[in-house]
Amino acid sequence: MGPIVPLFYIPEELNLLIAFLIGLGFGFVLEQAGFSSSRKLAGMFYGYDITVLKVFFTAAITGMLGLLFMNYFGMIDMSLVYLNEYYMTSAIVGGIIMGAGFIVGGFCPGTSVCAAAIGKIDAMYFIGGGLVGIFIFGETYPLWEKLYNANYLGMVKLSDSIGVSDGILALIVIVAAVVMFWIGEIAEKKFKREDISNEI
Amino acid sequence: MKTKGNTYMNPYLAGFLLGLVLLSSFYLTGRGLGASGAVKSVVVSSVATVAEGHAMKSPFYSKYLEGDQKPMKAWLVLEVFGVLIGGFISGAVSGRLQLKLEKSPKITNKKRIMMALIGGALFGFGSQLGRGCTSGAALTGMAVMSLAGYVTMMAIFGTAFALAYFFRKNWI
Amino acid sequence: MNARIVLSILIVSFGLVAAILPQKQNSSIQLDAAQLLYEIQLRNHVISVDEMADAIINNDPYYQLIDLRSPEEFQTYNLPGSLNIPFDKLFTAEWAPYIDQVARKNVFYSNGSTLANEAWMLTRQKGMKNNYILEGGLNNWIATILTPTSPESTFGDEAINSFQARLGARQYFSGESASSASSANNAPRKPVPAKKKTKVAGGCS
Tell me: the pLDDT tens digits for B85-136? 999 999 999 988 888 888 888 889 999 999 999 999 999 999 999 988 888 8
Please tell me the distance in Å from B112's CA to the nearest CA on chain C.
Answer: 27
Tell me: the pLDDT tens digits for B5-56? 458 899 999 999 999 999 999 999 888 888 888 888 888 888 888 888 888 8
pLDDT band at B1 (very low <50, low <70, confident <90, very high): very low
Does any CB of chain A come closer than 8 Å to the CB of residue C3?
A: no
C-alpha A41/C-alpha A200 separation (Å) is 10
CA dihedral defined by B130, B133, B139, B143, rounded to 10 degrees?
-40
Q: Residue C200's closest chain A neighbor by CA? A: A82
Neighbours of chain C (3+ CB pairs under 8 A): A, B
User: What percent of chain C is modeled with pLDDT above 70?
Assistant: 80
pLDDT band at C203 (very low <50, low <70, confident <90, very high): low
Which residues are CB-neighbours of A68 under 8 A, at least 6 positions away? A166, A167, A170, C18, C21
Span C150-162, average pLDDT: 73
Cβ contact B137–A104 (<8 Å): no
Which residues are CB-neighbours of B6 under 8 A, at least 6 positions away? A200, B94, B95, B96
The answer, yes or no, to whether residue B70 has pLDDT greater than 80, is: no
pLDDT score at C9: 92
pLDDT score at A26: 95
The answer, yes or no, to whether residue C51 has pLDDT greater than 80, is: yes
Query: For chains B and C, what is the number of CB pairs under 8 angstroms?
Result: 38
pLDDT score at A80: 82
pLDDT score at B126: 94
For B19, the closest of A21, A66, A84 (CB atoms) is A66
C-alpha B14 chain-centroid distance: 18
| Percent of chain C that is helix, strand, coil (3-state, to 5) | 50, 10, 40
B126 φ, ψ (degrees, to nearest 5):
-60, -35
Query: Between A120 and C37, whose confidence is greater?
Result: A120
b or e along A112-132 (b: 16 or more beta carbons within 10 Å of the residue's beta carbon)?
bbbbbbbbbbbbbbbbbbbbb
Q: B30 contacts in C (CB within 8 Å)?
A: 199-200, 202
Does any CB of chain A come closer than 8 Å to the CB of residue C159?
A: no
Q: Which of A62-66, A140-144, B151-155, C172-176 bottoms out in mean pLDDT, i.e. has the lowest?
A: C172-176
Residues B140, B22 contacting (CB under 8 angstroms)? yes
For B132, the closest of C7, C199, C203 (CB atoms) is C203
pLDDT score at C187: 56
The answer, yes or no, to whether residue C184 has pLDDT greater than 60, is: no
Residues B155, A97 contacting (CB under 8 angstroms)? no
Span C137-150, average pLDDT: 84
Which residues are CB-neighbours of C153 under 8 A, at least 6 positions away? none
Q: A71 contacts in C (CB within 8 Å)?
A: 24, 26
Does any CB of chain A come closer than 8 Å to the CB of residue C2?
A: no
| Helix spans in C58-176 (H) | 71-76, 96-99, 114-125, 137-141, 157-174
Q: C204 contacts in B (CB within 8 Å)?
A: 34-37, 40, 76, 127, 131-133, 135-137
Q: What is the three-class DSSP state of C78? A: coil
Q: Pick from A78, A73, A95, A77: which is nearest to A86 by CA?
A: A95
For C204, the closest of B12, B30, B35 (CB atoms) is B35
pLDDT band at C177 (very low <50, low <70, confident <90, very high): very low
C-alpha A120/C-alpha C101 separation (Å) is 51
Q: What is the CA radius of gyration of chain A?
A: 19
Span C10-39, average pLDDT: 82
* Angle at CA of residue A116, ends A110 and A121, nearest 5°: 130
Cβ contact C199–A82 (<8 Å): yes
pLDDT score at B2: 41
C-alpha A10/C-alpha A21 separation (Å) is 16
How are beta strands C46-47 and C105-109 bridged, if at all?
unpaired
ipTM above 0.90, yes or no: yes
C-alpha C71/C-alpha B106 separation (Å) is 83
Residues A36, A118 contacting (CB under 8 angstroms)? yes
C-alpha A141/C-alpha A149 separation (Å) is 11
pTM for the model stands at 0.75
pLDDT score at A53: 93
Q: Give CA separation, C49 vs A30, B163, C82, C136, C168, in Å.
A: 63, 77, 14, 8, 14
C-alpha C166/C-alpha B75 separation (Å) is 54
* Angle at CA of residue B73, ends B72 and B74, nearest 5°: 90
Q: What is the three-class DSSP state of C200? A: coil
For A171, the closest of C18, C26, C203 (CB atoms) is C18
The answer, yes or no, to whether residue B152 has pLDDT greater than 90, is: yes
C-alpha C193 chain-centroid distance: 14
pLDDT score at B67: 59
Span C181-187, average pLDDT: 47
Give all strands of the β-sheet with C131-134 in edge-to-edge order.
C46-47, C131-134, C105-109, C63-67, C83-84
pLDDT score at B133: 86
Neighbours of chain B (3+ CB pairs under 8 A): A, C
Residues C139, C114 contacting (CB under 8 angstroms)? no
b or e along B154-165 (b: 16 or more beta carbons within 10 Å of the residue's beta carbon)?
ebbbebbeebbe
Q: What is the CA radius of gyration of chain B?
A: 19
Span C84-103, average pLDDT: 83
Cβ contact C204–B136 (<8 Å): yes
Q: What is the three-class DSSP state of C83? A: strand
Per-residue pLDDT of chain A (200 residues; tens, 9 = 90+): 778 887 776 788 888 899 999 999 999 999 999 999 999 999 999 989 999 999 999 999 999 999 999 998 888 888 888 888 899 999 999 999 999 999 999 998 999 999 999 999 999 999 999 999 999 999 999 998 899 888 888 888 998 889 899 999 999 999 999 999 999 999 988 888 887 777 77
How are beta strands C131-134 and C105-109 bridged, if at all?
parallel
C-alpha A154/C-alpha A139 separation (Å) is 27
Which residues are CB-neighbours of C199 under 8 A, at least 6 positions away? A6, A79, A80, A81, A82, A83, B30
| Helix spans in A35-165 (H) | 38-46, 51-72, 88-105, 109-117, 121-139, 141-148, 158-162
pLDDT score at A107: 92
C-alpha A197 chain-centroid distance: 24
Give the residue from C7, C12, C26 with the most A CB atoms within 10 Å of its CB, the best one to mutate.
C26
pLDDT score at C182: 45
Q: What is the largest CA-CA distance in chain C?
A: 94
Bridge partners of residue B146, in order along the sequence: A157
Please tell me the distance in Å from B155's CA to the nearest CA on chain C.
Answer: 17
